[in-house]
A and B are shown apart, each in its own frame.
Chain A
Amino acid sequence: MNDWTVLGPELLSALGQTLYMVAVTLLLAGLLGLLVGVGLYVTRRGNILEHRAVHEAINLVVNFVRPIPFIILLAALGPVTEDVVGTRLGPNAAIFAMTIGAMFAVARIVEQNLMSVDPGVVEAARSMGVSRGRIITTVILPEALGPLVLGYTFLVIGITDMSAMAGAIGAGGLGDFALRLGYQRFNDEVTWAAVAVIVVLVQLVQLVGNRMARRILRR
């Protein structure tokens, strides 16, 4: 039998570590990815800052980073992480790698959602003499807000997934808990306890995301 008086607090602190890593990564990757995604969108052909070379350059970087499996990226980024964060280990090192890994996925999500904005409203704003920077912040982003929220919600699941591998560099979290105390000790109950917590977490995020998107989209 498992002693949950010991395991319980450990699970809780693992949850805390996961929440911390996911939240900070979501914020950083969300912002950086938004910038890159907007960059991809506006430099596209026919868009307000059309620029082929810049678009292709960003595209190349995105396509280069995206397919790298996260566990490999985590290891490969080691030296860079050390330069930036000061250490290769622990939650902050994990956050750095997760941010790099996630921001390019965010960039694609953002680009795709912005492409669904009716070019007609952009044209309307241009006809009013609104500057291109203003068009991005006051027309394009607000018009795409509903789908963007759904995209970010989807992203949380991906980041949670990444965070499970953070145990590999000693960052703890629910994935680490499940692997170390469950899988490696052939203790299915512990593994499934971690799974249950993750499922509940993701469900909650999805619920909130859906609600917000519905509100924004008035449906």
Chain B
Amino acid sequence: MTAPADPDRTRHPDGEVIVRFEDVTKTFVTGPAKARREVVAVDGVSLEIRRGEIFGVIGYSGAGKSTLVRLINGLEPITSGSLTVNGFEVAGRKETELAPVRQEIGMIFQQFNLFTSRTVAGNVEYPLKRAGWPKDKRRARVAELLEFVGLSGRAGNYPEQLSGGQKQRVGIARALATSPKLLLADESTSALDPDTTQEVLQVLQRVNRELGITIVLITHEMDVVRAIADHVAVMQDGKVVEHGSTVDIFARPRTGTARRFVSSVLHSVPDEREVERLRRAHHGRLVIVDVGDGVDIGGVLSDGAARGVRFTIAYGGISVLQEESFGSLTFELIGEDTAVQDVVDELSRITTLREVAA
């Protein structure tokens, strides 16, 4: 296939910006003339997506994720702001002017959107036909792509004869046919079961690592982000409320939305119900501390123990993501008040600490 990208650069993208949103807004006008209603689906978004990365976009239903990706290839025109792909301004373009940009951008969909009137091979061949490839080259390319997604034996099947995971792999092969630089994946695993999701995510990861293709990955599942995204933007009400490296967002979510997404996969912080239960079971001072590499909580606790402060671990979890460990632990501290206070002060000094109200 195309020359494999430098794997190091792929993992730590410092490549040039491939997609740049500058204060992009998308407003839909709906309803009859008398009762016009405006929906601001994307609201003042500024983002940079760099070559070689897998860029996750997460948010609840209606947050504007699909709209955001559909702006990138101009399926929806932006209302205001500036949006460039490979330096090409997408804003204000006519459908015909967008054709060359779109040929550089592949797209896969939640419902796969395969042509039911064409075979697996026919689906993958379709964009090549439109791009005017000669027949023998098309055939070789289709074979190569089906091999890449592991569906060589299925060339002659029709979409309805395939499982969901297989359909999505055909979708991926079709999207890659004309060697795009960028792949847009809108909820590409949301119609799939957990095992099949992993299978498709692995293919996407290979697309990124082996072919060096930048991927914008829309999802409402934090598991998907955790599995393969390098960067993630959290969307809410059309705005990007938080973005950063996946490790950063997982280790230090700042907004409530991000925290809820993180806790949907990492159950390391007790929620309100669990706090209530903890309060009933523990009568000492309850504190929640973030743990991570280089945070010496054990040292502080041993010092406390020397002054008669006992502790119990009441709740918590630690995970490793891309070689960094993070998580949080909830301790009950029992002992003489000033000694306990010293332990709490010392913990606050080395990490983030939250107290569970009595």
Contacts and interface: CB of A to CB of B under 8 A. Distances in A.
A and B assemble together? yes
Interface of A: 118, 120-121, 123-132, 134, 138-139, 142-143, 145, 216, 218
Given A143-B116, A218-B158, A129 B111 contact: no
Contacts of B102: 126-129
Interface string B100-121: 1111011101011111111000
Given A124-B107, A138-B130, 7 more contacts: A120-B112, A123-B113, A124-B115, A126-B75, A126-B95, A130-B127, A143-B115
Given A128-B102, A129-B103, A131-B99, A120 B115 contact: no
A121 B113 contact: yes
Contacts of B126: 125, 128, 138
B98 interface: yes
A102 to B, nearest CB: 26
A7 to B, nearest CB: 48
Contact of A120 (B95, B96, B111, B158): B111
Contacts of B129: 138
A128 B116 CA distance: 17
A15 B73 CA distance: 57
Contacts of B95: 126, 132
Contacts of A121: 113-116
A142 B130 contact: no
Contacts of A126: 75, 95, 102
Given A120-B109, A123-B109, A134-B130, A128 B115 contact: no
B147 to A, nearest CB: 21
Contacts of A218: 158, 160
A128 B109 contact: no
A131 B96 contact: yes
Contact of B98 (A129, A138, A216): A129
Nearest to B161: A218
B101 A129 contact: yes
B126 to A, nearest CB: 8
A127 B73 contact: yes
A129 B99 contact: yes
A128 B75 contact: no
A120 B116 CA distance: 11
14 contacts: A118-B111, A120-B112, A123-B75, A123-B113, A124-B115, A127-B102, A127-B106, A128-B178, A129-B103, A131-B96, A139-B115, A145-B117, A216-B117, A218-B158
